[in-house]
Amino acid sequence: MTGYRLLFILAALSFSGFAKADDLWLAVANEFPGRLRLSEGGTVPRVVFARRDRPDPAYPHAVMKVSQIAVGADGKVYYCSGLDGSLMHLLDGRHEIQASEVAGQIRDLACTGEEHTVYYSVVPTPQNSQPLADGIIYRRDFWAGSPEQVAHIRQADVGGNWWGSFAIRDREIYLATLDQPSRIFKWAGGNLQPVFTDNVHHVTGLAVSPDNHFLFTDGSGGVWETTDFVGVRSVLQTGLPIYDVAVRAASTGGRP
């Protein structure tokens, strides 16, 4: 057993104080067509919705995968492929609609306690061996017109490997790079600073639970819970390469 693996297990066993399991929405990014899965209170994930193998004529440019998910405080489920500009909404649990479409690629989604509002990140795909471009996080209130920019993330400030993964906790934005281990940053008051610098985990998806803990996926089938990225508890282990996790947002959460 490697030292890394031993440290990981000891941290998971020693940490306490987490709440009971929440209902987790899960995404497997490499599936085609994409599916939405739900684990209810720690149960084996079940498929609750499968996308079609070709785009609907109403949104012909959509890539029919599911890479990232977010759930609002009202229980509304949003998702994206990570490869196009379509922000999708699961309507009535059985049908999908395109809630919005933007230029570029939507990479990740997040919700707070705000009604009819979604946050999303856009990071352009590099062209012709160019370095990864800067990314932007937007706030979209579907009742208020156009999206508004919330944060401009310079790749130079995060080491050049931020593909859009973020979550919002206590009105502050947290970012995770795709490094191994991931580097984590906090955006607050227009400033970006490294946090949880002892993290040893690879983070592919990041969310915040109703009790204000972080949830993250590692891309290898695990969903983990933590408050500091040192003490970590296993929430769910599957044989699927889970890429992202979402849980219903707390109604008390507000805009950053």
- pLDDT in single tens digits along all 256 residues of the chain: 444 444 444 344 333 334 456 899 999 999 999 999 999 988 999 999 999 999 999 999 999 999 999 999 889 999 999 999 999 999 988 899 999 999 999 999 999 999 999 999 999 998 888 899 999 999 999 998 899 999 999 999 999 999 999 999 999 999 999 999 999 999 988 889 999 999 999 999 999 999 999 999 999 999 999 999 999 999 999 999 999 999 998 777 778 8
pLDDT of residue 175: 98
Which of the four CATH numbers 1.20.120.420, 3.10.180.10, 2.120.10.30, 3.30.1490.20 does domain 3-246 have? 2.120.10.30
Model pTM score: 0.90
Identify the residue whose tokens are 């979209």: 140
Q: Is the separation of the CB atoms in 196 and 172 below 8 Å?
A: no
pLDDT of residue 1: 46
pLDDT of residue 21: 60
**CA 99/CA 102 separation, integer angstroms:** 10
Q: Is 212 left (phi over 0), alpha (psi -120 to 50) or beta?
A: left
pLDDT of residue 11: 41
Amino acid at 6: L
CB atoms within 10 A of CB 150: 18
Beta-strand ranges (E) seen in the chain are: 24-27, 35-39, 46-50, 68-71, 77-80, 86-91, 95-101, 106-110, 117-122, 135-141, 148-153, 166-169, 172-176, 184-188, 191-195, 205-208, 214-217, 222-226, 232-237, 244-246
The DSSP line for 216-238 is: EE-SSSEEEEESSSSSEEEEEE-
pLDDT of residue 13: 36
Q: Is the separation of the CB atoms in 114 and 253 below 8 Å?
A: yes
> Coil, strand, or helix at residue 153?
strand
Q: Is the separation of the CB atoms in 169 and 212 below 8 Å?
A: yes
pLDDT of residue 143: 92
pLDDT of residue 223: 97
> Coil, strand, or helix at residue 256?
coil
pLDDT of residue 6: 42
